[in-house]
Amino acid sequence: MAIISSLRHFLFLALLLGYGVFELEASHRIYEDLQSLEPTGITSTTRQQPYRTGYHFQPAKNWMNDPDAPMIYKGIYHFFYQYNPKRTVWGNIVWGHSASTDLVNWIPHKIPIYPSQPSDINGAWSGSATILPNGKPYILYTGINPRDDQVQNLVVPKNASDPYLRDWVKSPKNPLMAPTAQNQINSSSFRDPTTAWLGHDGRWRVIIGSKIHREGLAILYRSKDFVHWTKSQRPLHSAKGTGMWECPDFFPVYINSQIGVDTLVLDKNVKYVLKLSLDDTKHDYYTIGTYNQTKDVYTPDKGSVDGDSGLRYDYGKFYASKTFFDSAKNRRILWGWINESSSVEDDVKKGWSGVQAIPRSLWLDKSGKQLVQWPIKEIEKLRVNPINLSNKELKGGSVLEVPHVTAEQADIEISFEVSKFGKAEVLDPRWTNPQLLCSQKGASVRGSLGPFGLLVLASKGMQERTAVFFRIFKGHNKYIDRSIVESFGGGGKSCITARVYPTLAINGAAHLYAFNNGTESVKIARLSAWSMKKAQIS
């Protein structure tokens, strides 16, 4: 992975390691021919297989995709997700549910939402939670009716005094929003309602992803009571040539502050973020702009580009993301689905498919032009056995092993000190896509200042390795967890998540190296690494 870095004396990289590859399969494809291969339960072999993560959220078995309706309620964090309780491929979709006090350790609860009404009889798809001013959470979600139309439904807690929200009741008025000939909505492209927000007029607003031909749409609805909804004459935002917009997310961020903002807050000292998941490419992109609360129109700032060439949360495997406002710690937290890169047949054999990225705090960069992400502070409670190095020179073509760290499950922070910037490669102005640049100039392509960085999940002879690196043209944090590598560069401005499936570098045979494949020397100013304990998840 290569990151185009600004001209800085120190470069900082952070990683979360856990075993991790780079394609994203379609989220709504069903593999009927593989149903007979499905295991009936999770076996000891499944439990012991080396790619299962130690502290990334995943259920005990079967398929998981989109994060849904994350929230904090009465001091308890809740995470819902799209789940197939029967198979390791997409289908039979219901909602899974787990609760936590720290966003690290999770206790599973029974399935809260499953097909039971005509409005969702063919599937209970993604949605979002809104905490009303009275403190009660409401969830809007997409259901599939008997005609396979996508419609929007409401579910509320059966017992609002239960902090674990174990029981939910569907509205008898479902569906609350549906495609009709009059509203000109594509019935197969109308899904994933956002967290709602209140306008100055006291009416609720919510957007739903859609499209007309190749024009992506954020369809806007308004309501006085959260039950009866009326479609606006125009969308909150649209963009031609972008295709279907899945899992939209719309929220404010403070200017010049890392403090999060609730969607219920109407403040002039904010920018707005519109995140969209592109069904065509399976990438999440976002724009930053302004929201006219009178006209209910969102306008991206100049230079904030709609579509796949725009800003992305993550330049690796990260899709269908969802944020929520953590009122306990005044921060906005981002969840994202990490799909597999293994074959479907391999997923069937191992008995599970899909994990969630480490929850990330998210805020607006001081420039006001992009977002910054960083793993939540709570994840650091899993750190053990710290290793520290400093002032280590890495000559061109050299490799240095980092000893005494459990390299299959680790947290690493490394700062590089670089000089001789005049010898850096000339930046081609056409190189605007970091993911494409990585494929063209990988870790084996030598330059002057770079590639240099870390080789993670590496075998002893380095027949297997995953490179996370810098290449400087005319700093950073990373996490590893068995089959996942999450990298945070430039203080969280550039993020890349990868899946890796080693066959040699597993368990105790995994090694960690710092390397420099450039012609010029660089210095490791500081390296801190921790082995990571396993979280309680399922």
Q: Catalytic residue positions?
A: 66
Residue of 52, 45, 39, 124 lying closest to 87 (CA atoms): 39
User: What tokens appear for 238 in the block?
Assistant: 């649209």
Spatial contact of 345 and 33, defined as CB atoms under 8 Å apart: no
Give the integer Cα–Cα distance in Å for 447 and 130.
50
DSSP label at residue 245:
E
Cα angle for residues 29, 34, 39 (degrees, 5° grid): 115
Separation between Cα atoms, residue 120 and residue 282, nearest integer Å: 25
Cα four-point dihedral sign 443, 449, 454, 460: positive
Rounded-to-integer distance, Cα 204 and Cα 251, Å? 14
**CA nearest neighbour of 296 among 363, 346, 238:** 238
Distance in angstroms (rounded) separating the CA atoms of residues 260 and 234: 29
Structure letter (DSSP) for residue 435: H
Phi and psi angles of residue 37, each rounded to the nearest 5 degrees, phi first: -90, -5
Determine the Cα–Cα distance for residues 497 and 484; give it in Å rounded to an integer: 7
Can you tell me the distance from the alpha carbon of 535 to that of 482, in angstroms, rounded to the nearest whole number? 13
Using an 8 Å Cβ cutoff, are 349 and 343 in contact? no
Number of helices (H), then strands (E), in the chain? 3, 37
